């Protein structure tokens, strides 16, 4: 008696045959195609999961179950937008003004003065002392080590008598507000401050 021949059909732009697991299809050229539909709880709509995997059917099934769990949990895998610190702070200040969190001219002046140092850096006139700001860095790439280096460099300016510790603490407080807002908005995994 001859072994049972696989019946190949053309689906989803591939030649596939059923495997021993539902939603896992064997590909004629090798590997597996995973295809299923899952309800996304964030939208209430069906979402298609489809991927070609060069693995065996058990690994494909494991990948499918992980992906189903991720979608059911409402987790987003979208890449973070490449937003620079300077651009984010401009938008944040505008939102704070519109919402009334920054009300007075003195508050606006404080934020403007602080952002000059956080974004553009701090330069001491008539010296070669300069502390880089965070302006050109992508907001999601700023880590604790960057903030610690910045604090150490500002600390050197305080020791040299160029700035008061109160001034630096004010800058640090605003940096904390900015990074907390970024963590919420971009769902960052860490808080750099």
Write down the domain spans for the chain.
Answer: 9-72, 85-186
pLDDT at residue 154, as a whole number: 92
pLDDT at residue 123, as a whole number: 86
pLDDT at residue 185, as a whole number: 85
Contact call for residues 146 and 85 (beta carbons, < 8 A): no
Please write the tens of the pLDDT for every residue from 20-46: 999 999 988 888 989 998 887 777 788
Cα separation, 20 vs 35, whole angstroms: 14
pLDDT at residue 153, as a whole number: 92
What spatial distance separates the first Cα and last Cα of the chain, rounded to whole Å? Answer: 71
Tokens of 12: 């989803």
pLDDT at residue 1, as a whole number: 41
Cα separation, 94 vs 139, whole angstroms: 17
CB atoms inside a 10 Å sphere around CB 90:
13
pLDDT at residue 5, as a whole number: 56
pLDDT at residue 2, as a whole number: 43
Low-confidence spans in the chain with pLDDT less than 50? 1-3
| Concatenated DSSP letters of 28-58 | TTSSEEEEEEEEETTTTEEEEEEEEESS-HH
Cα separation, 181 vs 175, whole angstroms: 10
Burial call 168-182: b when 16+ CB within 10 Å, e when fewer? beebbebbebbbebb
């Amino acid at each position: 008696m001859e072994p049972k021949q696989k019946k190949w059909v053309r689906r989803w732009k591939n030649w596939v045959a059923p495997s021993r697991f539902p939603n896992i299809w064997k590909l004629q050229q090798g590997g597996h195609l995973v295809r299923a539909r899952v309800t996304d709880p964030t939208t209430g709509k069906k979402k298609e999961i489809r991927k070609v995997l060069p693995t065996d059917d058990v690994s494909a099934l494991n990948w499918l179950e992980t992906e189903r769990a991720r979608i059911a949990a409402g987790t987003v895998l979208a890449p973070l937008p490449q937003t620079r610190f300077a651009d984010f702070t401009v938008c944040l200040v505008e939102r704070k003004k519109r919402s009334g969190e920054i009300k007075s001219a003195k508050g606006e002046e404080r934020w403007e003065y602080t952002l000059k140092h956080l974004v553009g850096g701090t330069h001491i006139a008539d010296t070669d002392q300069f502390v880089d700001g965070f302006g050109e860095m992508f907001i999601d790439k700023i880590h604790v080590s960057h903030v610690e280096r910045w604090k150490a460099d500002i600390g050197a300016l305080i020791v040299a008598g160029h700035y008061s510790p109160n001034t630096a603490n004010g800058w640090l407080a605003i940096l904390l507000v900015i990074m907390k807002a970024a963590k919420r908005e971009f769902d960052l995994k860490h808080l750099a401050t």
